[in-house]
Amino acid sequence: MTKIGLIGCGAIGTEIATQVSEGRVGGAQLVALFDMDAAVANTLAQQLGGSVPTFTDMDEFLSAPSLEMVVECASPSAVKAHAENVLAAGKDLLVISSGALTDTKLFQRLAALAEKRGLRFIIPTGALGGIDAIRATRGLLEEVLLTTTKPPRGLMGAPGFKQWETQDIQEAKVIFDGSALEAIKLFPANVNVGATLSLAGLGPDKTRVKVVADPDSPGNVHQIYARGSFGVMRFTLENRPHDRNPKTSYLAILSVLETLREACTSGPRIGT
């Protein structure tokens, strides 16, 4: 069994904790929960039957008996605050708030620390697809564009959407068009996918991201266009928003669960 602890007990954390506790994630076993909101962590622990300890102090969390892998599903600020401590404590690290990693210095420090300590540092595909193909063609890519379209309610609260929040958006509007690096600053909870895509391909400066608000959008829609000497790739995902947090797509949760299954179980591995 791989003993895992979660940072963040919100929409994603709750689903992961539930499925791991029900034994549906291969060899993963939940041993610790951390959230800056103690009540949220305690509520989740109670839902799970009360046997998983909760923490609001990172040193105590990292000292939880037999903890081996930390799964971050909280926020980019949680990655900035805790990721280095996790690896320094000798724990494997899985990061879903990949927007934090567009800080290339932080990304390189974490990658170097993981390599030095022989630890796994995993960034799941998240609410996206096609990352295997982007990675495989990395050296040949000339252009990568991500267009993310969400209903306006899925963009509420983002700094880049502030001026639009009071407007009655009746048709699709391009809210942002720029680099993945800028996109993640303005839409920190919306375009982690752009960050992951950029880390796999051309990098945060050279990956272009468009954010569109569309009241008729069928969900959180991500379209990838990538071009290079290998040819052209187009991927479209129409994701169902999570009931508890409409900014988050249900696919993001499924992606973390599948990544965990792969990391915590032996057996054949399909795909890049």
Ligand X SMILES: NC(=O)c1ccc[n+]([C@@H]2O[C@H](COP(=O)([O-])OP(=O)(O)OC[C@H]3O[C@@H](n4cnc5c(N)ncnc54)[C@H](O)[C@@H]3O)[C@@H](O)[C@H]2O)c1
For binding to ligand X (CB under 6 A), which residues are involved? 7-13, 35-37, 40, 73-78, 81, 96-98, 126-128, 189, 192-193, 196, 245, 248-249, 252
Write down the catalytic residue from 208, 222, 242, 247: 222
Cβ-based nearer residue to ligand X, 132 or 142: 132
- Residue with nearest beta carbon to ligand X: 10
Q: Shortest Cβ distance from residue 257 to ligand X (Å)?
A: 13
Kindly provide the b/e burial profile for residues 185-197, where b requires at least 16 CB atoms within 10 angstroms of the residue's own CB: ebbbbbbbbbbbb
Cβ-based nearer residue to ligand X, 40 or 145: 40
Residue pair 34/59 in contact (Cβ under 8 Å)? The answer is: no
Q: What single-letter amino acid sits at 178?
A: G
CA neighbor of 56 nearest in space, from 80, 70, 77, 40: 40
Is there a catalytic annotation at residue 82?
no
CB-based burial of residue 95 (10 Å sphere; 0-12 exposed, 13-18 middle, 19+ buried)?
Answer: buried
Q: Shortest Cβ distance from residue 203 to ligand X (Å)?
A: 17
DSSP string, 221-238: EEEEEEEETTEEEEEEEE
**DSSP helix/strand/coil, 47:** helix
Cβ-based nearer residue to ligand X, 179 or 198: 198
Cβ-based nearer residue to ligand X, 200 or 228: 200
- 254 vs 12: CA distance, rounded Å: 9
Cross-strand bridge partners of residue 71: 6, 94
Residue pair 251/237 in contact (Cβ under 8 Å)? The answer is: yes
- 22 vs 44: CA distance, rounded Å: 14
Cβ-based nearer residue to ligand X, 122 or 228: 122
Q: Shortest Cβ distance from residue 31 to ligand X (Å)?
A: 17
Show which residues are catalytic: 222
